[in-house]
Amino acid sequence: MMPVTNLPVVQKEMIRYGMTIYLALGLVGNICNCIMFTRHPYRHSASSIYFLSFSIFAIIYLLWAVVPFIHTLNYPDLQTQSVLFCKVRLYGIHVLGQYLRYLVVFSCVDRFIVTRIDVRIRSLTSVSMAKKLVIILCVIWLLFPIHMPILMNIRAGVCGMFGLYKLIYAIYQILVAGILPPVLMSILSTLTIRSLHQRHGALGRHRQIDRYLMRMVTAQVIVNIITSIPYSVNLLYGAITYYVVDKSAQRIEIEAFITFATQFLVFLISVTSFYLFLLTSKRFRNDFFRVLVKGWNKYMLRRVQIIPLNEHNNAAKIIVGRSRTNPLKCKSFQLQLKHPS
């Protein structure tokens, strides 16, 4: 069927260029995050464990969610042809997306605990505890949405939810992705900022580090809120209007494009973290530039020793000695030339 609007063409171009840029920037940024958060100054912080886990899952999320979209530009959509692929792909996208959201929530919890004045409360957070919580989070979100691959199916060439489950899933998605994470992030961020202002007796250096980490977490919180709400609202709209049978072709194309646009926004969660860290944290920015310079000097620059040759085949010999009294001082310098007869 021929499209009645230009929106399908716009969507195709957004996939071709927008998602390709997403993939490139996201992979580069998250790999840089992995390098930074495995370095000595960062790996001893619980927040760094959450940031590192976030970056690893973001790489998997980009490959799992974005690459199939790009694949459909030149090949048939496997999601509409294989029921198994339909179930597994959407289930994987949901699970990985929840990992990213709730890792940010855990980062907010950690920032709140660290900035408390009470030493006993601050002792609740540690690197070992952060690793355990990441593992627990993985198990929870592998099991909790297990209903998705069971109840999803393909109908009329569309992979998704149908009937009453479409409404139930929309409500579920709004609660676990659109309401709970942003509310928790907002409350914890507000409490953390208050704690930072109350710590007047702490050392200035530690307060500064806390502020830098708090800015990094806050930037992630803002992106999560901006991207999650439109997607959840669109899900609710789709569920409410599911039984409307007299939709025009133009309305169907508009709704399909809005659904795609909200998904396009959600993918920002996995792309922007590294660039937000660069913008919001001076310490992270300076450390990253030092790593770049060190890597450039170590792997890119090569010391080249140039030995000049005389055009007339003169033999040059340079003898450089060092004084016994001063090892850095040259002892002798001799130049012997053999002239042709």
Mean pLDDT, 10 residues at a time, the chain of 341 residues: 80 92 95 90 83 95 92 86 91 94 92 78 82 94 93 86 85 87 89 73 53 80 86 82 81 89 90 91 88 81 51 45 45 42 40
**Residues 132 and 48: beta-carbon distance below 8 Å:** no
Spatial separation of the C-alpha atoms in residues 64 and 1, rounded to whole Å: 29
Spatial separation of the C-alpha atoms in residues 312 and 327, rounded to whole Å: 35
- End-to-end alpha carbon distance in the chain: 92
pLDDT at 123: 74
Spatial separation of the C-alpha atoms in residues 267 and 97, rounded to whole Å: 9
pLDDT at 198: 67
pLDDT in tens, 300-338: 775 544 445 454 444 444 444 444 444 444 444 343 434
pLDDT at 232: 81
pLDDT at 33: 93
Q: What is the pTM of this model?
A: 0.81
Task: Determine whether 301 is exposed, middle or buried from the number of CB atoms within 10 Å of its CB (0-12, 13-18, 19+).
Answer: exposed
pLDDT at 337: 39
Spatial separation of the C-alpha atoms in residues 71 and 208, rounded to whole Å: 45
pLDDT at 1: 58
pLDDT at 340: 44
pLDDT at 209: 62
**Residues 143 and 94: beta-carbon distance below 8 Å:** no
Q: Express the helix, strand and coil content of the chain in percent, nearest 5 each.
A: 70, 5, 25
**Residues 320 and 330: beta-carbon distance below 8 Å:** yes
pLDDT at 210: 63
Let me know how long the chain is: 341
Paired tokens of 263: 């998904």
Spatial separation of the C-alpha atoms in residues 256 and 237, rounded to whole Å: 12
Write the CATH number of the domain with boundaries 7-298.
1.20.1070.10
pLDDT at 280: 87
Element at 256 (helix H, strand E): helix 249-266
pLDDT at 315: 43
Concatenating the DSSP letter of every residue in 300-319 gives: I----------TT-----EE
